[in-house]
Structure 1
Amino acid sequence: MPSYKQLLALIAGLAIAISAQAQNYPNKAIKMIIPFPPGGATDIVGRIVAEALSKELGQPVVVDNKSGAGGSIGTTAIARAAPDGYTLGIATVGTHAANPACNPKGGYDALQDFAPISNLARTPNVLSIFPGIGAKNYQELHAYLKKNPGKVRYATGGACGVHHLTGALFTSLTGTDIIHVPYRGSGPALTDVMSGHVELFFDSLPGSLAHIQSNRLRPIAVAWDKRLESLPNVPTYAELGLKPINDAVWYGLVAPAKTPDDIVKKLNAATLKVLALPEVKERIVQSGSEPAGTTPAEFGAEIKAALERMKNTVKTQGITFDPSGS
């Protein structure tokens, strides 16, 4: 058995080694896992930040799209990576709140298995409809839903995702009876709504905005703290008396739990610096999002609050996880 002095020396040696590791960090390429396919809002924001961080840190930040199971596959890979700062990942309301609330056995603990670094961007959600049903605003849509209980469907990018839970809460708050139709991604859902196979669509704004602007979708409400410049005539959920679903989604940067604090601090400082760059801000805004930037503690608090909200929604709406995705 080592003596007390030997243990103290060992602990001191480890502390010195960790400090040296942080001082030399990074000295090789960093992998950023994005738990969704290329082309979506999560991927767009992640790639913008990865490119900027590569320049700021002096090492490549290489994107690895590891999609599947509503983001759970890639998020599990982030949680299980070595906590050395060379594997980072993008966290979303879906991966760190909706999915864990709906499927607690999804392979990771949203609070314990990650070291939050910073919120990167926030994005409005939007409820849009197939224009062919005739409703021009929320009041007309609500009347239409009331006249057709159990006959109207809403599409989302997947079961147990944030938009599924939003749709379930919308159904409860409005006293309507609409049927969830989950798709394996927002792209197929969008196609079916625009063709009239499904009437309603809950989505994040970047995926729907171009189709709204081309009049292939009709926007009804947005989740944001004020009306959007791009959709000035569309009310927020809060304006419509639906404040519980007026929360925007977010995309943040995380590392595996037990990543050294000095590395987390260095990554946070670099992230805040690149988010303040005019060219980065402009690209994020053009994508339909708004740059954020927080301390690790602030982002951790946001994750915890979102998870609690989603757990409450799952409980009150009686939502259960279906591994078939239906």
Structure 2
Amino acid sequence: MHKHSNIALALALAASASFAQAQSYPSKPIRLIIPFAPGGTTDIVGRGAADQMSRILGQPVVVENRAGGGGSIGADAIAKAAPDGYTIGISTVSTMAVNPACNPRLPFDPIKDFKPITNLANVANVIAVNPNFPAKSYKEFLAVLKANPGKYSYASSGTCGFGHMLGEQFKVATKTFIVHVPYRGAGPALNDVIAGQVPIMMDNLPSSMPFIKAGKLRPIVVAWNKRIDTMPDVPTFAEVGLKEPNDPAWYGLVAPAGTPDEVIAKLHDAAVKALQDKGFQERLRAAGAEPSGNTPAQHAAEIKKEFEKMKNLVKVQNIKLEQ
């Protein structure tokens, strides 16, 4: 009996210690891992969140860019960090769904190894073409592809990157055949589409938007819940009958699995407050992103849905990562 009461006491002490730790959290700087190089949409979202959360939490949130492996190096660093709330990271469709679906040998599991905090922002996706492409509307675009299987190619940010998956989803949904040309990032892919080397681009809208505004790319269809204000003539995938590709890309906040719930709650509250800052909202919208700020359970559901969808796509299209 005596032994059991000791165990109960030990458990009670451990519980109160973790509660006390959560109460005083954060008592030192927090590291925010961004799994891509500086300058992209992920970086805009991550740095904006870090600035605001530093102010709200009263401790510096220090950004660390850990690029490489299509985001998987940074994602693995988040998964392997101590689950104490002092290392968090940005989650993206690439790191939490596309990469793990394409490469089952990755050293982390997107569902088991992370504890979601919130989705910070959603981003629209776009299929755009070189202005010389022989189609002005989505209907014409589809007719040209159906009449010429295998003649046209599309550029993406890389094999098993987000654009590649959008292209393959589009092919499955429309029963068309276009050839994939992978690049080392959206930048070089866009350069070649603008130069006319490759006619079609599959992309997140923020990186293509400046070229669309300048008339160097023609948008054909977007993935978003409604038409985009600056492109009122461009239909959404849902409008043209393609429900699956219409989901937006998202940029969320996750902690390593095992991080205490009380800590997750504090981080969630700080992130939601951060998204209420007018300056941060304006920066996100200027980059083509829309603030979100949903619950941890909702972000967990988004991750799971996207991962299942990508696993299915990889199987159907027999997509292999080029080693």
* TM-score bucket of the superposed structures, by smaller chain: over 0.9
- Residue equivalent to 1:29: 29
TM-score (norm. length: structure 1): 0.96
- Residue equivalent to 2:198: 198
In structure 1, C-alpha distance between the alignment counterparts of 2:13 and 2:159, rounded to whole Å = 49
- Residue equivalent to 1:156: 156
- Residue equivalent to 2:218: 218
Shift in Å, 1:230 = 1.4
In structure 2, C-alpha distance between the alignment counterparts of 1:257 and 1:244, rounded to whole Å = 29
Alignment deviations for residues 171-198 of structure 1 (CA, whole Å, 9 cap, x no partner): 1222221111111111111111111111
In structure 2, C-alpha distance between the alignment counterparts of 1:7 and 1:49, rounded to whole Å = 42
In structure 2, C-alpha distance between the alignment counterparts of 1:268 and 1:48, rounded to whole Å = 15
Shift in Å, 1:55 = 0.5
Structure 2 counterparts to residues 1-326 of structure 1, below 5 A: 3-323=3-323
In structure 1, C-alpha distance between the alignment counterparts of 2:309 and 2:176, rounded to whole Å = 21
Q: What is the identity, as a one-letter code, of the residue corresponding to 1:121?
A: A
In structure 2, C-alpha distance between the alignment counterparts of 1:49 and 1:310, rounded to whole Å = 27
Gaps of 5+ in 1: none
Identity in percent = 53
Alignment deviations for residues 284-309 of structure 1 (CA, whole Å, 9 cap, x no partner): 11211100011111111111111111
Shift in Å, 1:316 = 1.9
Q: What is the identity, as a one-letter code, of the residue corresponding to 1:63?
A: V
In structure 1, C-alpha distance between the alignment counterparts of 2:104 and 2:230, rounded to whole Å = 37
In structure 1, C-alpha distance between the alignment counterparts of 2:96 and 2:173, rounded to whole Å = 24
In structure 2, C-alpha distance between the alignment counterparts of 1:240 and 1:232, rounded to whole Å = 15
In structure 1, C-alpha distance between the alignment counterparts of 2:10 and 2:142, rounded to whole Å = 67
Gaps of 5+ in 2: none
Cα RMSD (Å) of the superposition? 1.3
Q: What is the identity, as a one-letter code, of the residue corresponding to 1:151?
A: K
Give the secondary structure class of the aligned counterpart of 1:267.
Answer: helix
Shift in Å, 1:315 = 1.9
Give the secondary structure class of the aligned counterpart of 1:131.
Answer: coil
Give the conservation status (yes or no) of the 8 Å contact 2:162–2:203.
no
Q: What is the identity, as a one-letter code, of the residue corresponding to 2:84?
A: D
- Count of residues paired in the alignment: 322
Alignment deviations for residues 58-82 of structure 1 (CA, whole Å, 9 cap, x no partner): 1111111111111101000000001
Alignment deviations for residues 248-276 of structure 1 (CA, whole Å, 9 cap, x no partner): 10000000010111100000111111112
Alignment deviations for residues 181-228 of structure 1 (CA, whole Å, 9 cap, x no partner): 111111111111111111111111110101000011110000011101
* Moved >6 Å (runs of 4+): none
Give the secondary structure class of the aligned counterpart of 2:132.
Answer: helix
TM-score (norm. length: structure 2): 0.96
Alignment deviations for residues 9-58 of structure 1 (CA, whole Å, 9 cap, x no partner): 22122112111111111111111111111111111111111110011111
